[in-house]
Structure 1
């Protein structure tokens, strides 16, 4: 979770992280001033960029121009019930919270669940997963006036930030309004920890104004403690608790029939910009009769870009959204649908997890393992470091170093079905042995909702 002056804009903070370094006054030591005031001042100076950013993102995803008022703390949604608030930034966090949301609805039927998001894709995932069972809005940008409006409007009994969210004005406002705010399922890469360490006073203050922090692993906890937090525990990773939805498994079986039961299906899951061209070139190096490759880009706004790339490469492809019979000479299926990743996993023989061939930090490999499918991952998995390392160590995943390595491994594994089965079974065991984070999260939430404030 790299420190940026605008960490709340979207799910690409690396782009924004470099912006402050262009400003000559950015090297002023925050320790000489009230760190939160300096942080807020810099946010105000960047306000024009916020609007430019929304317009820029809206070029390919018009949803960025919707609900702009919510991003500044103005809402029409409301509830007369006491509110439990969960912040799930984008798709990954929203899907990881499925079991937790279900348990909270069971345990607190007289409360209203409020889910906040930062990206349109996260909001769309919430609509698909939860429908009208929850309220959903955008969390406001981290301006004091906006977060105060948000908190005063909804008056949550408790707030839960998921994974990597440290927003200093939001934390401060919850602290002063005596709203318990927890950081759960927390993860912190070595690179992000180093960035936060550049601002020790601000970071330490924010972390210790949180009511509780529970990390995914001992390593994550140690990094957070190293930044000055003193209320840190370890809960495991909520992503291990996710169960493949029956509807998605049934859809996966339908897709397998549609793709062709006699064909080998290779899934390129959650690919990022720059990876597809490398992976398509890799496929030209393998000699696997009737291989069908399914490409599912990480971001829906890139579906058309990938389609153009396939056309330029002269590759015979079909879009999944067309729902047309798959021709025998089709080489690639473009998975241009939202919320169906479990179905794609269920339909394939093996998968490569994108975001890891180039230095994007990787994506979640646990869902593929939960369906019992062999997994390839690249060298760049720092966003899921512990899960990736454990999966490789227990034989649930194969780490490749480059596209040539992937071509060789793909060729070898598809020639040995017994090895595919062995890796898939290891994945199922890997997921089962690491479940339990949902119960830990519930204990934290229950303490503040029931025990501590009775």
Structure 2
């Protein structure tokens, strides 16, 4: 099966490169460093290398506490941080600008045997650390050949992903069996990973709880809020395809007729959809402004006639949460599994989430049980609950306090994950 998988990868390589160029129309980062994706790299002089793979922006941000702990605990080591997406690489560049002398960023080559061999020979890592869900058959097979231990940390596996992996058992199971250690986010994740064939996954928690929200983001959020005037703000964060239409239609039904109507802020998950969502807003005749139209220092005042702010920026999610009164976490109104609500809790905001949270089921259920979050069954009920919270300052404050307490209660995963990695680093 892996031979067939490798053959398909080889045949699809020209199409993969064309797709990179196509995506580069809107995200120029995809047209940069293409040689790295083919396993051709600039000279690397680091020694005693630890390799961390964080595929996209979300995984890169989640890995920040672990990466900083590795650099602090092992001062003689260098770290190679690989990505697959342009936003992941850009996020890593911003997060780790202060440690560029010890951290080298690169795109991960395509999962083709000869490319992975070149990568491993070039960087000679002592250890491979995969973040969350990345299990690549040829990557793991070549690590075995080169005697590089593979660990999977902050690991999560939804029921849907488990069924998909089980359908490809002859390809995925050998890779799963070859992983040296797994640190799972939660008990359900550990159980599903065990069902996939991974022996004895440890439950260490989610290292994203250990991320410290930048103080500058809170300050910028306060400044942004000031520019928006006295209106309350409902944030719809990390929305996905199929959600914005539902939210905007529900907004038109409920909000414009209200006195002192709240401002709606929508921040799409993926930057390539910013213009698409802007078009949806325009088609509905809704008055809006883009975040990018505001001055960098956030001194522009927003007219009272503006009904929606489109958050068309990356790396400012903590700022968006800081300036909101109520936060809905997207990806959950449609069956996409949702996104984690840790950032909203870290900023002490009452959280709303939809029915579809299978990617983060345990954390979401725990947040609801802790009265930090409420589950809604659609866009209309989401806005109804948001308006109810805006009208009830006591409940809104209580939920926000519970959210922040929930965030603090779940910290410590980084230390437990470091204990898992320690036997493999020398």
Q: Which runs of 4+ in 1 moved over 4 A?
A: none
Q: Name the counterpart of 1:384.
A: 360
CA distance, structure 2, for counterparts of residue 171 and residue 225 of structure 1: 18
**Superposed counterparts of 1:59-70, under 5 Å:** 59-70=25-36
Q: Name the counterpart of 2:82.
A: 116
CA distance, structure 2, for counterparts of residue 79 and residue 103 of structure 1: 22
Q: Please say if 1:93 is aligned against 2:59.
A: yes
- Displacement of 1:415 after TM fit? 1.0
Q: Name the counterpart of 2:283.
A: 312
| Preserved contact between residue 270 and residue 296 of structure 1 (Cα < 8 Å) | yes
- Displacement of 1:77 after TM fit? 5.1
Q: Name the counterpart of 2:247.
A: 279
| Preserved contact between residue 175 and residue 210 of structure 1 (Cα < 8 Å) | no
- Displacement of 1:288 after TM fit? 5.4
Indicate the SS of the match to 2:267: strand
| Preserved contact between residue 326 and residue 389 of structure 2 (Cα < 8 Å) | no
Q: Name the counterpart of 2:297.
A: none
CA distance, structure 2, for counterparts of residue 46 and residue 387 of structure 1: 38
- Displacement of 1:158 after TM fit? 1.1
Indicate the SS of the match to 1:46: helix
- Displacement of 1:220 after TM fit? 1.2
* 1:372-400 Cα shifts (integer Å, max 9, x gaps): 00111111111211111111121111111
Task: Work out which of the residue numbers 239, 264, 272 in structure 1 matches 2:232.
Answer: 264
Report the TM-score when normalising by structure 1.
0.88
- Displacement of 1:422 after TM fit? 1.0
Task: Work out which of the residue numbers 143, 148, 162 in structure 2 matches 1:174.
Answer: 143
Q: Which moved more, 1:36-45 or 1:293-302?
A: 36-45
**Superposed counterparts of 1:125-136, under 5 Å:** 125-131=91-97, 133=99, 134-136=103-105
Task: Work out which of the residue numbers 336, 345, 350 in structure 2 matches 1:360.
Answer: 336
| Preserved contact between residue 208 and residue 231 of structure 1 (Cα < 8 Å) | no
Indicate the SS of the match to 2:125: coil
Task: Work out which of the residue numbers 322, 338, 342 in structure 1 matches 2:318.
Answer: 342
| Preserved contact between residue 342 and residue 407 of structure 2 (Cα < 8 Å) | yes
CA distance, structure 2, for counterparts of residue 358 and residue 264 of structure 1: 26
| Preserved contact between residue 282 and residue 406 of structure 1 (Cα < 8 Å) | no
Q: Please say if 1:48 is aligned against 2:14.
A: yes
- Displacement of 1:81 after TM fit? 2.7
Q: Which moved more, 1:170-179 or 1:72-81?
A: 72-81
Task: Work out which of the residue numbers 249, 252, 272 in structure 1 matches 2:218.
Answer: 249
- Displacement of 1:149 after TM fit? 0.9
**Structure 1 runs not aligned, ≥5 long:** 1-34
CA distance, structure 2, for counterparts of residue 350 and residue 407 of structure 1: 10
CA distance, structure 2, for counterparts of residue 407 and residue 298 of structure 1: 19
- Displacement of 1:172 after TM fit? 0.8
**What do you get for the CA RMSD once the two structures are aligned?**
1.5
| Preserved contact between residue 372 and residue 424 of structure 1 (Cα < 8 Å) | yes
CA distance, structure 1, for counterparts of residue 144 and residue 292 of structure 2: 47
CA distance, structure 1, for counterparts of residue 259 and residue 167 of structure 2: 50
Indicate the SS of the match to 1:270: strand
* 1:92-124 Cα shifts (integer Å, max 9, x gaps): 111111111221121122211211111001111
Q: Please say if 1:196 is aligned against 2:165.
A: yes
Q: Name the counterpart of 1:39.
A: 5
Q: Please say if 1:216 is aligned against 2:185.
A: yes
* 1:33-85 Cα shifts (integer Å, max 9, x gaps): xx322322232233333234323423432322221111111111523332111
Indicate the SS of the match to 1:398: strand
> How has the CA–CA distance of structure 1 residues 330 and 184 changed in structure 2, closer, same or farther, with 3 Å as cutoff?
same
| Preserved contact between residue 360 and residue 380 of structure 1 (Cα < 8 Å) | yes
Indicate the SS of the match to 1:97: helix
CA distance, structure 2, for counterparts of residue 95 and residue 80 of structure 1: 23
Indicate the SS of the match to 1:183: strand
Indicate the SS of the match to 1:210: coil
Q: Name the counterpart of 2:350.
A: 374
Indicate the SS of the match to 1:360: coil
* 1:178-232 Cα shifts (integer Å, max 9, x gaps): 1121011111111111111123333221112111112111211111111222242
Report the TM-score when normalising by structure 2.
0.94
| Preserved contact between residue 369 and residue 424 of structure 1 (Cα < 8 Å) | yes
